[in-house]
Structures are given as structure tokens and as C-alpha cells.
Amino acid sequence: MSSARYRLGVDVGGTHTDLVLLDTTTGELSVEKVASTPKNPALGVLEGLARFIAEAIPPAHIGFFAHGTTITTNALLEMRGAKVGLLITQGYRAVQEIQNQARDGNLFDYFYAKPAAIAPQRLTKEIPERCDYAGRVLRPLDKDAVRRAARELKDAGVESIAVCYLFSFMSPVHEQETQALVQEECPAVHVSLSSEVLPRIREWPRLSTTLLNAYLEPVMVRYIGHLNEGLDVAGLRTQQRFLMQSNGGVMPFSAAIAGGRTVHTLFSGPAAGAQASAHLAREDARRGLVTLDMGGTSADIAFIEGGAPLEVTEGVIARRQVDVPALDMTTISAGGGSIAWIDGGGFLNVGPQSAGADPGPACYGRGGLRPTVTDADLVCGYLNPDYFLGGAQKLSVAASRAALKAYIGDPLQMDVTAAAAGIQRIVDMRMADEVRVFAAKRGVDLSAFTLLPFGGAGAVHAAAVAEELGMRRILVPPRPGAFSALGLLCTDVVHDYIRSELRTLASVTADHAEDIFRQLEGTARAELAAEGMNPADARFARELDLRYTGQGYELRTPLEGLFECRLTAATLRAARDKFDDRHAQIHGHAAKERPVEVVSYRLRVRVAVPKYEPRAAAPSPSPRPAAAAVKGQRMISLNGTTMQATLYERARLDIGATVEGAAIVEQFDATTLIPPAWSGRVDGYGNLILARA
């Protein structure tokens, strides 16, 4: 037996923590689901690991551990980060107050207020220093001022300090000197440098992203420390311990808490599911996929075209600007635990509040009193109260009905089933509307795309969402409830690097551009070696951020295929042509007569790690008919109509088996609803393909 026989992927959700164990010798997957532990998510992870160990899986034989987490996301949403101080160039302390002068939400809201400053003015210190736009020192760093500021912030109880000096992306020397001085004065304080977190132009996005890193880094350090200790105690010896990043790749635990990379985990949780979709449903990913990850607290939506998830380099989370590479996803509060309530006008609403894992929906019987989407699904007959998590957890229909009656039915003078249907309708419409807007922004014809639902509740609501969008094909993966955890076994180690230098493309020589990229590659190799990986295994992808002169935004322009060993003048000319084509494709026009500017140089380094590869199974010579998987019948309420649905056990559906709606397909980690006019067929990979007649 190999000492690295098993690979483990873990996804921590708002309600459940999912674990997928891959046996590399047999290709077999094992799944565990445990209740999440919001106060300390590591406890849920360790409980799931303990279950595998109890099933005779030697922890010393787990050679790879990958983890998708919402620890930083939740800390930001709930404002549970560190107390942060800010050191900024003298005369620029107002940047955090002014931001970019834009405002979100309703423009006519007289009570509009910006989010509370992460580093309030009383914890913001101006430091005499100054570099110009080219990185030339105009005023040396006042080291005494740095020392005084560090001592004052330490006395104020600051746990983390953000440093953001003007034009530090051109010359990081002053920020690096500041870090050394701060660490001498207060070694226990975390320091985040904007020249490491986001070395690119535009003051507010750079400052905002650096502040977020400073705010969240102590949270991540504590969490990783606790988890690492627990894994060691459990007997997990592998040093290959990875965290999912927003860009769809993983990074070692050590990288997440060094060099300003904590902020790269803000979209860690949902990114794994999108990555799994692109890897495991490759044919559909090339044609076009919409992913719908409906878990306990939220629904995450992503688009996959040409075989890869769409990406962005600028984003907003909890009204905070965060400009790091991330998969292009949108999140709405539409999960199984989303609470239904009636507003002051007497209208039914669902979310954004969630019952979470503790106490959970009313049907869990853990003290939750208010009705949720899961309670509505249970009352309508979609969920089996005796087969939730394969029967490991019993659900109370009576508790769901009582909650719906007390909080929704009686106030609105409607029966319980109608109240449940109303909740489902709101959630389904909200998810469909979000997909519709997402598609409209990208000019996507949804009728040609496949919907891929996962998460514990995704396959229950997928058909209703697809019908609303006019989509005719749904792909339900074999283990939808643990699909994001499986995605952690389907990706590589990925790091992104950027350096801004604003020049016209015509004035940039090939040697100059090559020198910048070589410097970035040198940094990447050094970091890979420090993380215990072989830099020789790395593959590099280069990009330029280009724009027409006078524009306030730029486009990422890949250089792949435009050079061999070194950049040449022909490479830069070809990059200009590629930029014109991309601009025309995205914005509908190209200004070929205008000069083009280089804004930033981007480098992505990828180190391949062994991935889970699905294997198509050969059809059985004597396949069982679908009738052999029938478990019984159950009355359900669908769109206000009561009907009888046939119940199937998914594990007993052979390849090629066909299921006609109305039907419910049950399995350990999820439930799939197949309405009338829809049918399901099991393909060679075990996917359940739903098609609308």
C-alpha cells in the first residue's frame, strides 16, 4: 500500500461540511457530510476526518489535503476581523474616506452611508515619504515617524497594520523598510504591504484590497494554526495541505498567511464548484455551462464557456472593493437555510438571513423556529424526512408545518402548502433572475447552455429555474451535495502576480517587457521553492493589461501563442492586434487608429498536481430496468398542484436507465426533483441528464 494512497478534499459550507476521499489505487470516492461548526469551522473538518479514520482509513496514508473555506468571507460579512491600523503617505489620509467617489445601491437613498472604515482615522497615521510615478524617491522615508506610529498603534490595541504608500507599486523600498521597522517595534503585529498585496495603479482599489488583507490575515492565521494542529493530532502527516483560492487554483497553507495572500481566499468556497464543473463536465463546459451551487446559506452562480470558468480581476464583496483575480461568480442569499419572513408591507420575503447550521431549519429540531426554504421543500414532499443524509438525520414535517403556519400562513391567511409554494417560487425566481442578468451582461443565449446544479439543494430547484430561463438541459453530477469538495481534487496550484507600469505600447521595447516578466518569474520560483514545490514543474502564462489612451479601464490580453522563448517586437505588435479584436468582441467596437497603453504586466504560475479523473463505465450486459430502483410513491405539491411522484434510489439506477417525471431521485447527499414534462437519463459517467420534452 502506498503511503500516499488517499487524497482528501474538504468544503466548509454554511450548513454542512463536505469531505470527499479519493482512493488513488481504485479510483473510488467516499463522501462524508457533517454539520458545520460556525464558531470554529475547523472542528467540523476534524469531525469529518475522524469519521474516515473510524472507517479504517489510515490518516498517515492521506497524502494530499485540499480545503475550500468561507472563513475569511464570513469574517468580513460579520465584521469579525482584526483591529487594523493604516500607515499612508503624508497628505493622503483621506483616500479611505473619498474612495473612488462612487456610491452603490439606490442613488436616491437619503440615508446612504458608506461601510464603516476598516482603519478609522484615529488609527490612520501619515508618514512623511514620497516617490514619483516612476518610483524615483522625492522624499526619503521618515523612519522615526514610522517608529512613533507603530508604537502608538500598538498602544491602541492594533493587531494588524496596512501600509499603502503612493506609487509603491513602482518602488516598494519604502514599504519594505516600514515593515522591518514595525516588526522591530511590535513583532506580534501583522503587516500587509500594498506592494505585495496588489502592486498596481489606482489608489483606492490598492488601499481597499490591502486593508482587507490586513483585516483578515489574523483570522486566517488563527484558523490555519488550529486546523494544522488538529490535523497533526489526528495523524495526518502530509505537508501537502492546500487552500482553495478565488482564482480556481489552490495554494499551500503557508502561502495563505504570507506575502499578502489571505485576501485571495475571499471567494475560496464557491470557486471549487466552478472548477469541478469545468474539469468533470468538459464537453458541456466547451459548449457552455451555467453552474448553480445552492447550499445552506446562499446560491452561487458561474458561467463556463470554452471549457473554462470566466474570470474577473476586480470585484466587490460586502460593499468592499477587492481587486484580485477571481472566477466570475455572483452570490445571492437563496439557500436551503434562508429564512422566510413578512415585511412591514405584508409581503413575503426570503433571506438574506439564514438559519445556518446552528440552530438550522425548523425541521432539524435543534431550536430553529422560523421557516426556511428547506422547511418549504419538506412540506411540499420533495424531501424524504427519513432519508436526509442517507437517514443519518431525521427531519420533522410537523415542525416545518408549525413554523410555516405561525410565521407565514396565519399572517397571510393562506394554508401551509400554499405558503411553502410561495417561498419556493420566490427563491426560484430570484435565482433565475440573477442568471438572466448575468447572461445579459455577457450576451449569452441560455437556451444553448446546460444548467449544472449542485450543493445540497441545487438539484431540488434546478428544473424550476431552468423552466423560467427556457433552458432544456440539466446535468446533475453523481454526488451533487459534495461537488465543491470534489472540485478541490480537480485543480492545480496557481499563483497570480502583477506589476503596473503605465507606458504607451509603442514606447515599450520587447527587452523591457521581457525583463519585467523575468523578474516576476523569479519571484514566483522563489515562492514556490519556499512552499516546498519544485519550480521546475511550474508553467507560466503571461498577459498584458492594455487600454486605449484616455480610457479608464483595461483588458487582459493573453500572450500565449505570440512568442516562443522571449518576447519580440512582433509579439508586441500581435498583442496590439489581439487587444483590438478582444475590445471589439467585448465592447462592440475597436479604435485601431488610437494609441494603446500598457497598464500592467500579469503572470500566472501553475504547478500541476494529480487530479481526480472520472472514468466512463461500460454499460452492463444486463442492465437493470429503472423500475428496479423504485422505492415507492409520494404525494408532492408542485406549482400549486398535488400529484403523485415515483421515488428512485439513485445508486440503483444503471447506466442508460431512464426516469420519467414526476419523479424524485434520492441519494445520500442530495435529492433531485424531476417534474412532469421532464425526463432523466444516466450517462456513462453516472451523471443524471434531465431533458425537457
CATH number of 206's domain: 3.40.50
Instruction: Say which residue, 20 or 390, is predicted with more confidence.
Output: 20
What's the structural domain count of the chain? 4
Q: Read off the pLDDT of each residue in 540-556 and give the average, rounded to a whole number.
A: 93
Residues 395-454: tens digit of each pLDDT: 999 999 999 999 999 999 999 999 999 999 999 999 999 999 988 877 778 888 999 999
Last residue of a domain, one of 180, 198, 217: 217
d(CA 542, CA 603): 5
CA 22 to chain centre: 22
Q: What is the CA radius of gyration of the chain?
A: 26
Three-state SS annotation for 656-686: CCEEECCEEEECCCCEEEECCCEEEEECCCC
580-589 contacts, C-beta under 8 A, 24 or more apart: 582/555, 582/557, 583/548, 583/555, 586/555
Q: 2 pLDDT exceeds 60?
A: no
Instruction: Please tell me what DSSP assigns to residue 125.
Output: E
235 — phi, psi (to 5°)? 100, 10
Burial of 208 from C-beta contacts in 10 A (0-12 / 13-18 / 19+): buried
Confidence of residue 555 (pLDDT cuts 50, 70, 90): very high
- H or E stretch at 37: none
pLDDT of residue 3: 61
Rounded to whole angstroms, the Cα distance separating 43 from 55 reads 19
Residue where a domain terminates, one of 161, 185, 217: 217
Percent of the chain with pLDDT over 70: 99
Give pLDDT, residue 536.
Answer: 92
Contacts of 276 (CB under 8 A, 6+ apart): 454, 477, 483, 484, 486, 487, 490
Residues 257 and 204 in one domain: no
The residue behind cell 451535495 is: 481
Residue 475 included in any domain: no
Is the pLDDT at 122 greater than 80, yes or no? yes
Domain that holds residue 636: 626-692
**Domain assignment of residue 368, yes or no:** no
CA dist 281 and 477 (Å) reads 9
**Which positions ≥6 away from 70 have C-beta within 8 Å?**
12, 13, 14, 41, 268, 269
Together in a domain, 166 and 249 = no
Q: Are residues 233 and 251 in the same domain?
A: yes
Top-confidence residue, 240 or 525: 525
- Coil, helix or strand for 236? coil
Q: Which of 16-20, 74-78, 165-169, 382-386 bottoms out in mean pLDDT, i.e. has the lowest?
A: 74-78
Number of H helices, E strands in the chain: 18, 35
Residues facing 632 on adjacent strands = 647
Q: Looking at the structure, do residues 582 and 510 belong to the same domain, yes or no? A: yes
> Do residues 228 and 102 share a domain?
no
Query: Quick one: pLDDT at residue 613?
Result: 86
Distance (Å, rounded) from C-alpha 64 to C-alpha 192?
Answer: 29
Indicate if the pLDDT at residue 1 is higher than 70: no
* Residues 195 and 235 placed together within one structural domain of the fold: no
Q: Is 541 found in the same domain as 576?
A: yes
pLDDT tens digit string along 587-603? 889 999 999 999 999 99
**125 and 24 belong to one structural domain:** no
Q: Per-residue pLDDT tens for 147-164?
A: 999 999 999 999 999 999
Q: Do residue 151 and residue 234 come from a single domain?
A: no
Write down the pLDDT at residue 111: 82
Q: How many CB atoms lie within 10 A of CB 397?
A: 14
